[in-house]
Amino acid sequence: MTYGNVKLRNSPGAATVVVSVVCLQWATACSDADAPQNLSRSSREYQENLVSRVSPVQPTILDEHQAVIKPTQTGTMAKPSWENAGDGNEQASPSPPGEVTQFDVEQQVRRQLRYNPAALSVLAEQLVPAGIADAVRPDAIHPVAPQSVTTGWSAPYSWSNGVDDRVDLSSATGWHLNTIGRLWGVGGCTATFFGRRLAITAAHCIVDSAGNYVAGVFIPAVKGASWPYSIQNVVGAWWGGQYIAKCTNGAPGYWSDCVPEDWALILLEDNFPLGHPGWMGFAWLGESDIQSWNKSSIGYPGCFENNSPANCQQEHRYGQFYGCTFGQFLYPRNGFNNGFTHGCDNGPGHSGSGIFTTGLGSFHIFGVDTNQRCTTCTIAEEPNSSVRLNPALDKRLDSFIFNLMVNLRAVYP
């Protein structure tokens, strides 16, 4: 990735396009004199300055109505309610371009929105050179504060070739690990910061099988009874615009329709009394990069399943020390493959985990864990070796979601 004349991914393949940009604030191509002094990149002031010269894209409200917030559910599975898996070769049905569902927790209003994709793209071309999609590490590690803890999990378990290679990474070094945390909504899930107040997860983690929004709380970097960055209430959310219609309330729930819609961006309250862990970057990657670059996915499993990690520690994050394999692309829509499979071992609680890469020089999320194609994935259970070796199913970030994430970073610096 280069700045000044910035390369932006603009196709499902590996092609790039060079876009000329102006000097925005303290983009790499600008003079150091343009950079604000003595500000941490993870501070609100720095992020406000980053977007001060642009106007975020405002959506059109297609529908708006009052909606009940269901209480947070702990100790339960946040399993997708859709059942019709198919064989993985189905085309995703058409979806209105730019359509998103939003929930405003303060006003208890659910809205159906439509964004102008072209306008979002223009904004991204302005802000990506300034670093809006880059990873941001914290300036300091804050002391761990003991708190109470609850337990739970989500989604079926999934081990590549029936072998669980996950290890406890709660004490592993690497600042980026602290950007991952436990999300409680429709049971236990995982979410990852991609901005100061924004995190990414799966839609089925915050929307129940009846299509109701479920109140959420996010605990970054939780380790057992320790909450080093306290707990954040979820105060807003955006997710796939067709998710409720196609995947809840007894809808057929075809995976080819639901996987493309099973993503969610959550807004957290602006209150970080113990500091901020920083956040990962995010990227819209070409297929060859996804296939070839290192891939990792880390989440918070539950410890009360038959197939939880060995010696599972409650509310600890788990993953593999090394990168995992790529399987195949699935669910094409308008020439773009919305889903892909991989061999990162996971289990109940990993739903919503971001899959990330270091291929761009830091940590960038390019997909989100949504479902699994087999459980323990042994030969006896799943004779198809390609499914058995790469059972995890992720929603791939597309150009619209990428540009929407940029826009939300501008609205909520």
Tell me, rounded to whole angstroms, the distance of Cα 188 from its chain centroid. Answer: 15
pLDDT given for residue 14 in this prediction:
33
* Predicted local confidence at residue 162, as pLDDT: 63
Q: So what's the pLDDT on residue 16?
A: 31
* Stated pTM of the model: 0.87
Task: Return the pLDDT at 144.
Answer: 41
Cα 347 to Cα 199: distance, rounded to the nearest angstrom = 20
Instruction: Provide the pLDDT for residue 158.
Output: 58
Q: What is the pLDDT along the chain (413 residues), one digit of tens a residue?
A: 322 223 333 333 333 322 223 333 333 333 333 445 567 889 999 999 999 999 999 999 999 999 999 999 887 758 888 888 877 778 888 889 999 999 999 999 999 999 999 999 999 999 999 999 999 998 644 444 433 333 333 334 455 666 677 899 999 989 999 999 999 999 999 999 999 999 999 999 999 999 999 999 999 999 999 999 999 999 999 999 999 999 999 999 999 999 999 999 999 999 998 999 999 999 999 999 999 999 999 999 988 876 788 889 999 999 987 888 999 999 999 899 999 999 998 888 999 999 999 999 999 999 999 998 887 788 888 888 888 889 999 999 999 999 999 999 999 99
CA atoms within 13 A on the CB side of 13: 3
Question: Count of CB atoms within 10 A of residue 39's CB?
Answer: 15
- Other Cβ atoms closer than 10 A to 107: 12
DSSP of 306-356: TTSPTT--TT--EE-SS---EEEEEEEETTEEEEEEE---B-TT-TTPEEE
Q: Where are the beta strands (DSSP E) in 96-201?
A: 99-104, 109-114, 167-168, 180-193, 198-201
CA distance 218 to 197: 11
Q: What are phi and psi of 261, to 5 degrees?
A: -100, -5
Task: For residue 358, give the 3-state DSSP assignment.
Answer: coil
What pLDDT was estimated at residue 108? 96
